[in-house]
Amino acid sequence: MSIITTKDLFKIYNAGSEIEVRALNGVDLNIKEGEFTAIVGPSGSGKTTLLNIIGGLDQPTSGSVIINETEITNLNANQLIDFRLHNIGFVFQAYNLIPVLTALENVEFIMMMQGEPQDLRQKRAKELLKAVGLERETNKRPNKMSGGQQQRVAVARALASKPKFVLADEPTANLDSKSTAQLLDIMANLNKEEGTTFIFSTHDQRVIDRARRVITLDDGKIIADE
């Protein structure tokens, strides 16, 4: 079953001016539940733009994005915030952890915004940190953790809301080989054991090698889907 469908997706920057940049140029895409997919292509090919539009962080110039029968391109700003909160997990290249919060509190934060009671959100946060190998780091703040540890906290946080899928934008870009291998093992295991759908935007061959589907973009178009 498709959980994400994009139809004739265009994103044009400076539309109407003499210089237009077509970041996306008519993208039709279906992602099924449980996929472990990498979106690849050269810089400027549209990878991050596509992820941001699928995740409701940016609006297309035209076209539609349908997630579990909800056309998110028709939602207003408040509806979109609520939809993201309950349906989509995000892992960013820059981690985006809240520096004054501990690892446990960072993972809890999304659930707090969802209105989950404290005992339930602490229990799930501890389970997720254990799943990513950080059960001993729960009380550490980001500045006391390595890059690899911070990114694992980010993965745990992305899963805290029990999202329909996780979007990961260059999640290994700042990691060494060992941390990358550990992170990919964790995400592959979550995909296999819990059926979590992962969609990566990446240049990293190590991620591409682990993906079960590789979609190649160039000049805002899908040129290969293997």
CA–CA separation, 24 and 12 (whole Å): 7
CA–CA separation, 218 and 220 (whole Å): 5
CA–CA separation, 170 and 151 (whole Å): 11
Say which residue the tokens 């990513």 belong to: 132
User: Residue 93 pLDDT > 70, yes or no?
Assistant: yes
pLDDT value of position 60: 95
Q: What percent of the chain has pLDDT over 90?
A: 68
What mean pLDDT is reported for the chain? 91
Per mean pLDDT, which range of 6-20, 119-133, 188-202 is the poorest? 6-20
pLDDT value of position 17: 65
CA–CA separation, 4 and 207 (whole Å): 21
CA–CA separation, 8 and 83 (whole Å): 22
pLDDT value of position 215: 97
Averaged pLDDT, 195-217: 94
User: Residue 18 pLDDT > 80, yes or no?
Assistant: no
Give the predicted TM-score (pTM) of the model. 0.90
User: Residue 101 pLDDT > 90, yes or no?
Assistant: yes
Q: How far is CA 198 from CA 120, 129, 146, 207, in A?
A: 25, 18, 23, 11
Burial class (CB in 10 A: 0-12, 13-18, 19+), 193: exposed
pLDDT value of position 131: 87
Backbone angles phi, psi at 26, to 5 degrees: 85, 55
User: Residue 1 pLDDT > 90, yes or no?
Assistant: no
- The full set of domains in the chain, from first to last, is 2-67+74-225 (3.40.50.300)
pLDDT value of position 16: 65
Closest among 153, 161, 159, 164 to 54, alpha carbons compared: 164
pLDDT value of position 6: 97
User: Residue 205 pLDDT > 70, yes or no?
Assistant: yes
CA–CA separation, 208 and 123 (whole Å): 33
Listed in order, strand segments (DSSP E) in the chain are: 2-13, 21-32, 36-40, 62-67, 70-71, 88-91, 165-169, 197-201, 213-218, 221-225
pLDDT value of position 209: 94
Say which residue the tokens 């899963």 belong to: 159
Per residue in 129-175, pLDDT tens?
998 889 999 999 999 999 999 989 999 999 888 888 999 998 888 88
